[in-house]
Structure 1
Amino acid sequence: MLESFGVRREPGWLTTGVVDGRDDLPVRLARVAGKLADAASMPGVPVMFGAATHRFRLGPPLPVDVVVAFEERHGVRLPPDYRGFVTAVGHGGPGRFGGAGPFHGLLPFDEWEWPLLNDPDPTMLARPFPAEPGRVYDDWLAEVAPGDEDEPYRGTLALSHQGCGDLSLLVLSGPARGRVVETCSAGPGPRFTEDPDFLSWYERWLDAVLAGERHFR
C-alpha cells in the first residue's frame, strides 16, 4: 500500500497492529503519504506558515540501519510511528530547517539537541523527560533543573522550529513518551499538544494545509 505513494518499505521497519483504537501503522503512514502528495500538488505559493521554503517536500527515507545506529548510540528506541515515518515516508528535506512539516519544517533527527540548555550528551535522550500532560509547575526550570548542569529538556528530540525561540519536541523517554510537546521555559512549563502521538500531530497539520488554513495550532 505504501509503495503506491512512492514510500519505501524495508524488512523490520515497523510492527503492525492496532494501537489505542487507531488504524494500524502501515494504513496511517499510507494515508499521511497520500495527504502529503496532495499538499505538494496544490497550485500556487503555499499559504501555510513556513511552507514556502520546503513546499511540502521531504528528503528520502532513512535506511533502517541508520536509525538503529542512532538508537544504539543514544540508548533509546524511537516511538514506532515516528520511526515508521522516517524510514518509510521521508526524512529531512530542502527547507532551511528541514522538510515538509509544521511551522518552519520537520528537522532531521540528527539535529535532536536544539532544545537543550546545556551541552549535548549522548545519554541525554535516554533520561526521562520530567513533564507530563496535565501537570502545572509554579516555576518549571527551578523545579526540574535546579542545578546549573541539570537539563530540563532531557529525553526529548527536536521536531520543528516554531519561531521566536519556541520548538516542537517529541518525547522519547519518561511518562509522556511518544507525545508532542512545545517548549516553554517559564511558569507552568511545556505545553503538550492534544495529539496522542507524532503521526497524529503531523496528519493534523496536513489536514490544516489541505483545508487552506494559514496557521497551525
Structure 2
Amino acid sequence: MVSVNTDHAGPDDLAALRAAFPDGEPLGWDAVRAFEAEHGIVLPEPYRTFVAEICDGSCTGPPDFGLEPLAELPDDWGDGRPERVPAQPFPLTEPWVWEDDPRPEEEIEALLGPVYDHGSIVLGTDGCGMYWHLVVTGPHRGHIWNISGEGAAPFGAEFGHTTAEAGFAGWVRHWAGGKPWYDK
C-alpha cells in the first residue's frame, strides 16, 4: 500500500485544494482542534488544513451531493443509527463485498457497524447509499474509502479501478479533473 503523508500538507496539494474550492468557507483552527479533542483524533493532512483554512463543506462535489462539513452527515444517513466513533480504528485493510460473503447474515451485520461508524469521517454521498469516508485511524489512515450497501473499497490507483492518487488531495484532484470515479 502506498503511504499517504498524513502529517504534513504539501504545498502542491493545498494549491490544488484551493483551486478546486476557491470560494470555500473555512472552519478555522480553533474549531478543528475542538473537534479533534472531542473525538480523540487528529485529522490527517491535507484534509486537516483544508477544513481549517480553505473550506468546511461545499454544495458542489466531490462527491455528487456535495462535500459535508466536518461535523455533519449526509441527509440520507438515517436516524437511529449507532453513534459514530472516529477514535476506534477503521476495521478494513482490503475491499470487502459483503453481498457476496458466504457467512451468515447475523455475522456480517455484526461486522458492518464498525465499517460504517469506526475510524472515519463521512465526506459525503453519491446517493443510493454510497458514501465516501476519510479514514482517520487505523492502518488506512488518510485514505478514502467508498462504502455502499454492497461493500467497501479503498480509492486510489494502487487499489485498482481508478487512475487517481490515493488520499484526500488525490480524490479531489480526480473529481476536479472531471474524471469518473472508476476510470480504469
TM-score between both structures, scaled by the size of structure 1: 0.63
Sort the Cα spacing of 1:75 and 1:36 in 2 relative to 1 into closer, same or farther, 3 A. closer
Sort the Cα spacing of 1:155 and 1:176 in 2 relative to 1 into closer, same or farther, 3 A. same
User: Which of 182, 201, 215 pairs up with 2:146?
Assistant: 182
Sort the Cα spacing of 1:35 and 1:157 in 2 relative to 1 into closer, same or farther, 3 A. closer
User: Which of 36, 40, 61 pairs up with 1:75?
Assistant: 40
CA contact (8 A) 2:129 2:149 kept: no
1:85 maps to what in 2? Answer: 50
Which 10-residue stretch deviates more, 79-88 or 25-34?
Answer: 25-34
1:192 maps to what in 2? Answer: 154
Q: Structure 2: give runs of 5+ residues left out of the alignment.
A: 157-164
Sort the Cα spacing of 1:76 and 1:116 in 2 relative to 1 into closer, same or farther, 3 A. farther
| Counterpart-to-counterpart distance in 2, 1:24 and 1:111 | 23
CA contact (8 A) 2:9 2:45 kept: no
The code of the aligned residue for 1:130 comes to P
Deviations 1:60-94 (A, max 9, x none): 1111010000000000110011001111221123x
CA contact (8 A) 2:73 2:124 kept: no
Sort the Cα spacing of 1:155 and 1:167 in 2 relative to 1 into closer, same or farther, 3 A. same
| Larger Rg computed on CA atoms | 1
CA contact (8 A) 1:145 1:152 kept: no
Deviations 1:22-64 (A, max 9, x none): x961232113323544xxxxxxxxxxxxxxxxxxx53x11110
| Counterpart-to-counterpart distance in 2, 1:199 and 1:190 | 20
Q: Structure 1: give runs of 5+ residues left out of the alignment.
A: 1-18, 38-56
The code of the aligned residue for 2:56 comes to H
CA contact (8 A) 1:125 1:172 kept: yes
Deviations 1:129-152 (A, max 9, x none): 11113566626875565289x533
1:109 maps to what in 2? Answer: 70
Q: How many positions carry a matched residue from both structures?
A: 163
| Counterpart-to-counterpart distance in 2, 1:61 and 1:108 | 10
| Counterpart-to-counterpart distance in 2, 1:63 and 1:171 | 21
| Counterpart-to-counterpart distance in 2, 1:168 and 1:130 | 16
Deviations 1:159-198 (A, max 9, x none): 1111112111111111111111111344xx3011114211
For residues 37-186 of structure 1, the aligned pairs below 5 Å read: 37=22, 57-58=23-24, 60-93=25-58, 95=59, 99-112=60-73, 114=77, 118-121=81-84, 124-134=85-95, 138=101, 145-146=109-110, 150-153=113-116, 154-186=118-150
| Counterpart-to-counterpart distance in 2, 1:167 and 1:31 | 23
Sort the Cα spacing of 1:26 and 1:176 in 2 relative to 1 into closer, same or farther, 3 A. same
The code of the aligned residue for 1:82 comes to Y
CA contact (8 A) 1:157 1:171 kept: yes
TM-score between both structures, scaled by the size of structure 2: 0.73
| Counterpart-to-counterpart distance in 2, 1:83 and 1:159 | 13
Identity of aligned residues (%): 30
